[in-house]
Structure 1
């Protein structure tokens, strides 16, 4: 029974394999034929998968089972007497006679199973596959279909350069013919892309690629040129071949031109140049929070991963770590560059790991660490540099010095050394100015960092006001970005820190002095004795509204400033710094009002206005007072001026119908229109390339038919932007009464 059972199992497997193989051969044959015809691998795979899926519905290679195999044996082996099914039944479930028949069926199956083959149509599938393979090889050899040819092969002339004479007169002799055209593309070495030689003149390369053109004519010519962006570059002649080369830096269009021995000019059609910019590396820190704090006694190690990707390979990557020690005006910074141990130069995708030990960085309680990863690619000559977001780590300070009232010692309630609102406004405006130069990721990162600084400033002011509900200890600002809310308007570098004037009282802006001359006379002596002289300086925890240095009016202004800071931070976090600026300006204005309210002003030495004549005061005589009106016409520069002028000239040519001579001024006009159109054609070459080509030919004095002029006119009209509604004021004659009324209104404004 065991041998017979194993034979049935093997027969079933062989049956399934043949069905799968049959389906696979039909699909592969179809894919080879489709690829030979159209040279599109995705189309071939799609159609092959579709056909294979349909065949699977009919072949069902998963369907054959042991019962199917036993039934097939019964039908093709008469000697087994339809007893193959007994082999699948356990012996303990059979009677004595059935066991004898089971044993007999197993012996017959062992002797004759090799004469039985599973049912399949494998021969037909093999024949179909061989036929498709032969047809594909034949089509590829003779090149009967243009799709099957290699687009970068130097032997393949997929787009032969055709020159058109600019002089429309009948030529006595045949013009020179181009017998060889080659374009050699040498990519920058750092890209590790091999050089290519092709006959296709369309250029799509990486920035910095060097291209060389080679043209060979069947007879002698005077000169050959390469024209691009309105400039003409002469090609060198060596050993019967004209050479020309250039380094690709920007997208555009170019064409060829040559002058034959009869001084006739011949120009080619335009060919596109698409230059792909080398992208900066993308850097991201993973596996760590943006801020981490450690107790002094715990293990102070930061472990994280850094993922860096680049399109052509990474040249270097490292960590810039800055340690800040101290606080206030005595803060000090130390910057270090940390290397990765598993950095692989040239890799396009890196997953680096790093562990920073704060003890090895010689950090002490109260110190803070700011670090980010900087990545550099291999671009030449100027490398692309990118950096990750800034991450923070701090060791909690277990000991802090505080000031208390002791004798004549004052109360130090000044806020810590932090970034000013004015500096935040300056940095936000700089971010908006640099938006076009930054990637989306870097733009959002810098906006988020400014939002973090705004949060630090808001929390510091809230702490100074006496808000117990603020998360004061969460105010971990950039140590290198701190600044005072000072009087100075100059920009501060993030790594520099100024201090207060030693002679200036640090509490002068926030307290109200009572030792001025004659000031004590404003308050009755009894009330002055009863009032605690330190009451307005102490932090009263019984009443949160009173736990501040400020009077009630100043407190309300400071609360308004905090609310403005909330909204400013919100829009910075939402990556909308332009919406954050109004709130920042209002917060700065409120802060200045609070500071100015505690100052004493003296008479400023400077301009003194002339005295007013007493006899003229309050008389209401204004005959010598004249109104001022300034009128300015603001016009937007028309970027399609030449195209509009060219359309007018084309309309004249089309209306004339007969041949109209194109003057040199017209040629210059069409060249300028072509330059304007080229900017749009770079973005959509398929839409404007034909129109640009026609402009090029008409500017080169190539005669184009009447229908082509109409087509050119339509193409230029499509290039123009849609006209916007133009509102204007209609002038109406004014009566003398209306003029007098307007004059009175202007005077009374």
Structure 2
């Protein structure tokens, strides 16, 4: 029963799709020929084979159960029991299944096959018959000749030579692998260094035949029996005209074009590694390199791998060059070169680089072209520098411009407090001291805005340098100065001003040597004391902001003190207050200047919104100046649209000179020259003038943008002006 349903559905689908496929194949056969029609027929058969199974999916077991229940009411909607295993049914279900089977066998089976799609089938076959009939009666297209005919600019005059046959042979260079070709057209496109051979036949025979090139060169053809032949190596693109003796004026042939295709250098692409810089991993023993080389006519089978190893650091760097020859794999036009380098074989050490690049040649003769790939670098990172204790070691590990922020110091301190139960005492003290060093660096950075001097340790006893800012020469005074500083450090309590704010009284102490410049304030300060203020930095902040920053530095002092003593929990309150004060400084005015309000002239209220338009007139914009040297383009644009023949000839000569001097500005100079020649040969040719005018327009400089004039028939603007002119309108 189910098989009959599937057969009916498949036949119905094919009866609708097959006539459509036949009609399409008939149309393709008439328009494109037998081969496209066969290809389309194969595609149509494949499409029919794909559509039929898709439509059959609808007619499954569930569809069959629904149709049985709908067709036979006496089955009590229990036809689904027929498709269930009896072992899975209960006693009542088995009894019902027996009744359903008896009722089905006791009468004829219902017709479950779907009806034929008669309307769709009739429409499909009717349209198919019409398409096949139209394709059969439609005339077949005429095949065009493979070789273009030699155009004649004008009918030949009796007695003048007339070109009967023309053949142009192109012999590309042997290294390109391109076969020689022949064409009846006198236009050609060939690789550079190709040999061109012309064979022409005239009736009646002229006395001589020449090829006249657009740059003035001439090539005479030699007579061989009834043919005229000549050969020429193609070195650059050019235009030429065939000029037989005895033909002048309009009877001459048009310009023909020879395009010389240059041989491009090889294109090298690095496949592996994907990045130009590769850091050598721990345990890495080799370095894989893979290059892909493409060329239009062929790549040499061998290539050179240039490997350079750098030695030394800083300015003392030397280079060692190595060369390896690689064999390529693949087609002659596309080859791959692969190698695995062992860095130890080149003596690579830590802190050094291994630079590799591939050098390839193409097979151009006699001089091949050379190309190099981008450089790829294998770097073996140097050993990390483990610095000494304190600030010097820390400065070697990070760049001097990198400082931790106050918020980061708070985050580090809170993280350290949370990890304290899991850390050893020595590790906890070390990390707390490191955070204190970060706090110190940040304090010194902000202290520069207040003129705070840089800090450093005391000089050793054997040093000749002074241990304080006092001038050297009196050890007693120096010792007194140190005791004075120690008193400040010992007497400082939390919350008291930091040493950068105290007022030294060193100036004027007895026993100091005389100043270098008598009476100079700067020399007196330099000789008898040390300043705590940098004028260029301190004057950037107003007094209130300076006091806020000074308070932040005091809190940083206390935070640093407790961090260096391995007490981050006691340092957090000071760190938070320092952060709050720094935010206030960032939001404050940074430059202290006297604020002066703007003084604008008073506004005359009587002249506002008066609506008077006296004295307002249209001002015509001046004509944009023509770019210097481009007058020939503008004149040619105007003369090509005019009917003056003498003006056109003069403008074409000027345009020819402009093209010769501006070849870098035009995309295709030869196309310009050919169009100029066509317009010069036949000035009345409208299509020739239009084509040349289009080229001239593309070469003209773009005018500068101007102001668009407002449309005069704008209804909104007109209503607005009428409302202003209306009597009684409020002004």
TM range (shorter): 0.3 to 0.5
TM-score calculated relative to the size of structure 2: 0.47
Larger Rg: 1 or 2? 2
Normalising by structure 1, we get a TM-score of 0.46
